[in-house]
């Protein structure tokens, strides 16, 4: 190689060395642009239910083996948490049933609504003295001796709401009875439930298109569910179906077993095989129609037992939640309230405080003064354990102070 050739070769090497950083930087820049473009892509229609289904494993297993397996739906399950945690919990309305003379229960409702910032519509209960299984105006019954006026009146109060749902085409409402009590964080609790519920609904109906939206976060218009128990006092899991166990920062931290799973700091939503107590339940338009047709044909059992039977026989599609977001309250013993029948409108002298010896004494007022509350969760709901029990800390929460409440000076 001559001198000239050596110079040309050297010059080319110098140019190559100078161009290499430029080319490398250009290649890196193009790679970043491509990655950012791909990562930033979003489809025009975002289906949170479909998105959730792709993120979670299929946890629907058969039989008891599923109950023994350990898994949990992520708190990141995508749903419509915002819409499901609005002031009506993502439903058209919350309907509160109460007798017009139970001013104390209207007051307890108002306190809870104030603390939890939810909107509730009140509906009058049906008077017992105007109800009867053999009175004109009530449905036929194959068991006339089975129901007394209190049970018939209770059914009529619920049936009137179902009736109005059909006339107004209401997609879904939450019905709560007059002794309903809930955690102050009920809005966020229902928001946390929404994603796992939608995911389970999709898994239970793989061939159906589940359409949920900000206006219908519970997919009530899908027609794929009838009732969701959120305040039942007893229920059963349909063990040939799936469930979703999920973290909830507002669930009690105490241990509670559910088919081998500890519900400490968790809740579970599952396909129901029964539901007892109608303290709090969400009913869809289709569910309301089914219930109205069934009870209009034969009112042969109390309302909750009819719902329970319809779920067991697959006439109703039900889902339940544990730990329940809604329970029942009673007055503390030793305040004289049990002796006047204040703990139950159906069975005035049959509640737990009566069985524990409340004979009308007033000996517990110092305790009520100390804790700033006269309300307790009914023993039937042991294990619900609201961490933020508004009525149970009523004075402290409303007054926003640790200063002791005084009944006397």
Whether 391 is covered by a domain: the verdict is no
**Whether the Cβ atoms of residue 78 and residue 48 lie closer than 8 Å to each other:** yes
Residue 347 pLDDT: 57
Residue 136 pLDDT: 82
Average pLDDT, the chain: 81
Q: Are strands 243-247 and 266-276 parallel, antiparallel or unpaired?
A: antiparallel
Residue 372 has pLDDT above 50, yes or no: yes
At 57 the three-state DSSP class reads coil
Whether 173 is covered by a domain: the verdict is yes
Residue 50 has pLDDT above 50, yes or no: no
d(CA 317, CA 334): 42
Residue 345 pLDDT: 59
At 295 the three-state DSSP class reads helix
266-275, pLDDT tens digit by residue?
Answer: 999 999 999 9
Q: In what order do the strands lie in the sheet with 375-377?
A: 180-182, 326-331, 375-377
Domain count, the chain: 1
Residue 6 pLDDT: 43
Whether 172 is covered by a domain: the verdict is yes
Residue 76 pLDDT: 46
The confidence band for 360, taking pLDDT boundaries of 50, 70 and 90, is low
Burial class (CB in 10 A: 0-12, 13-18, 19+), 346: middle
**Residue 121 token pair:** 């519509």
Residue 4 pLDDT: 43
On whether the pTM is more than 0.75, the answer is: yes
d(CA 167, CA 169): 6
Whether 258 is covered by a domain: the verdict is yes
Whether 140 is covered by a domain: the verdict is yes
274-312, pLDDT tens digit by residue?
Answer: 999 999 999 999 999 999 999 999 999 999 999 999 999
- Mean pLDDT, range 41-51, rounded to an integer: 33
Residue 2 pLDDT: 46
The confidence band for 33, taking pLDDT boundaries of 50, 70 and 90, is very low
Whether 367 is covered by a domain: the verdict is no
Q: At what angle do helices 186-204 and 48-55 cross, to 10 degrees?
A: 70
Whether 193 is covered by a domain: the verdict is yes
Domain enclosing residue 241, as ranges: 54-327
CATH code, domain carrying 201: 3.90.550
Residue 68 pLDDT: 36
Whether 277 is covered by a domain: the verdict is yes
Q: Which residue has the higher pLDDT, 392 or 128?
A: 392
């Amino acid at each position: 190689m001559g001198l000239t050739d050596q110079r040309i070769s050297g010059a080319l090497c110098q140019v190559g060395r100078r161009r290499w950083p430029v080319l490398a930087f250009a290649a890196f820049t193009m790679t970043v642009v491509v990655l950012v473009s791909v990562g930033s892509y979003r489809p025009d229609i975002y289906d949170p239910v479909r998105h959730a289904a792709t993120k979670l494993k299929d946890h629907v297993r058969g039989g008891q083996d599923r109950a023994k397996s350990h898994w949990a739906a992520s708190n990141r399950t995508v749903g419509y948490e915002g819409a499901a945690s609005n002031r009506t919990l993502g439903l058209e309305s919350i309907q509160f049933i109460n007798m017009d003379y139970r001013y104390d229960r209207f007051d307890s409702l108002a306190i809870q609504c104030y603390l939890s910032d939810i909107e509730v519509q009140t509906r009058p209960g049906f008077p017992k003295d105007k109800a009867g299984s053999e009175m004109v105006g009530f449905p036929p019954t194959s068991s006339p001796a089975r129901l007394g006026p209190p049970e018939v009146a209770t059914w009529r109060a619920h049936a009137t709401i179902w009736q109005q749902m059909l006339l107004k085409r209401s997609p879904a409402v939450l019905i709560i009875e007059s002794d309903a009590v809930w955690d102050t964080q009920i809005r966020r609790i229902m928001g946390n439930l929404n994603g796992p519920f939608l995911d389970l609904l999709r898994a239970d109906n793989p061939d159906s298109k589940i359409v949920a939206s900000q206006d219908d976060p519970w997919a009530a218009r899908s027609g794929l569910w009838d009732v969701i128990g959120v305040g039942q006092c007893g229920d059963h899991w349909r063990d040939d179906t799936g469930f979703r166990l999920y973290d909830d920062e507002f669930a009690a931290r105490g241990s509670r077993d559910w088919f081998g799973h500890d519900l400490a700091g968790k809740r579970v939503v599952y396909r129901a095989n029964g539901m007892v107590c109608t303290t709090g339940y969400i009913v869809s338009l289709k569910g309301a129609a089914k219930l109205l047709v069934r009870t209009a044909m034969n009112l042969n059992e109390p309302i909750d037992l009819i719902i329970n039977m319809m779920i067991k026989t697959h006439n109703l599609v039900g889902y339940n939640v544990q730990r329940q977001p809604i329970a029942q309250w009673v007055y503390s013993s030793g305040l004289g309230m049990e002796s006047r029948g204040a703990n139950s409108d159906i069975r005035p002298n049959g509640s737990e405080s009566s069985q524990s010896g409340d004979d009308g004494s007033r000996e517990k007022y110092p305790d009520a003064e100390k804790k700033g509350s006269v309300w307790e969760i009914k023993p039937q709901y042991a294990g619900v354990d609201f961490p933020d029990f508004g009525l149970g800390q009523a004075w402290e929460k409303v007054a926003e102070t640790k200063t002791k409440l005084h009944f006397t000076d």
